[in-house]
Each structure stands twice: as C-alpha cells, then as structure tokens.
Structure 1
Amino acid sequence: MAYVVTQPCDGCKYTDCVTVCPCDCFREGDRMLYIEPEDCIDCDQCVAECPVEAIFHEDQVPEPWRHYIRLNAEMAKTCPPIFERKPPLSGG
C-alpha cells in the first residue's frame, strides 16, 4: 500500500510534502507530483503538509480520482525524483 497524489495537485504542484518525506518517494512531473508506490513507507507525514489536500492513502482515494493510483505508479517510473521545496506553478 502507498499514498497517492491526486487531482488537486494538478496545475499547482506545491512541494511542501517533499520536504517531510523520509524515503524520498516523490517524483516531479510537469504539472504535478507523483509518489513512487514501491518506495512509499506509509508514514503519513506528507498528508498534513499538502495545502490543497491532494494526498490520500490508496485505500481512501475518492472514487472519482481512483485512476490516480495507477497514474502515480506509471509516472513515478518516468519522472525524476524531487528532494527539495520549489515554488508552486503560477496560478497554484
């Protein structure tokens, strides 16, 4: 099981969550962040840091956003790791 970044992150890409992740499982896409499910240790620390409430445990992802579970796994394989906080996208 792992945490999943969902729709509210798309287009804003806040990176507050990255700084508290003890296992460096976040990956940076063009418009949002993703979590590498193989690396996530279910520590829950990122959830409280997300200002747009985009991160859910995969068992609790709202039904309309369930496709983000697969999307995180797929995109995490192609996107580079992110380790430090960056400014959000404009409009985010």
Structure 2
Amino acid sequence: MPYVITSACKDEMAADCVEECPVDCIHEGPDQYYIDPDTCIDCGACEPVCPVEAIYQDEFVPEEEQEYIEKNRAFFE
C-alpha cells in the first residue's frame, strides 16, 4: 500500500488530494477519503496538497496512526 490517509482527514474531507491525483485512486468514504492501493501509482502528488497533512507513505505512517493502514485496506475489500 503506497500511501495512506490518516485521522486528520476524518470528517475534514477537503478533497484537494482528489483533484491532484492523476489516476483517480482516491475515493470518498463515509467519514474520510481512501487511497486505492491497486490503482495508486505511488507518485506522491496527493501528499503535499493535503491541507491537514493526513497523507503518508505507508512506511512513514506515525505509530499512533497505524490502524489507518488496515482501515484503508479494508475499505477496498
């Protein structure tokens, strides 16, 4: 899973990342956005435009946000 959207997005949903994504891999969920790991090309375009700094490369997700890796994965199952 290349990128993960974490708790800062929850109920925020600014959508700047959606507009920036060149492959439309960011999808709206009931409480936040999610990145489709099968579609994401790992370009990183979404990360710097997130106004709440909720997007991390999977290996850099803070320890207190690790549950969002599984939450993201489960959204696409």
TM-score grouping bracket, smaller chain normalisation: over 0.9
- Larger CA deviation: 26-35 vs 52-61: 26-35
Where structure 2 has 5 or more consecutive residues not aligned to the other structure, the ranges are: none
Which of the two has higher C-alpha Rg?
Answer: 1
Written as runs of structure 1 = structure 2, the 5 A alignment for 1:9-20 is 9-20=9-20
Identity of aligned residues (%): 44
Where structure 1 has 5 or more consecutive residues not aligned to the other structure, the ranges are: 78-92
Structure 2 partner of 1:27: 27
- Return the alpha-carbon distance in structure 2 between the equivalents of residues 19 and 27 of structure 1: 11
RMSD: 1.0
Instruction: Tell me the TM-score normalised to structure 1 length.
Output: 0.79
Written as runs of structure 1 = structure 2, the 5 A alignment for 1:1-92 is 1-77=1-77
Q: Deviations over 1:32-80 (max 9, x none)?
A: 0000111111101001110000000000000011111111111134xxx
Shift >4 Å, 4+ stretches? none
Instruction: Tell me the TM-score normalised to structure 2 length.
Output: 0.93
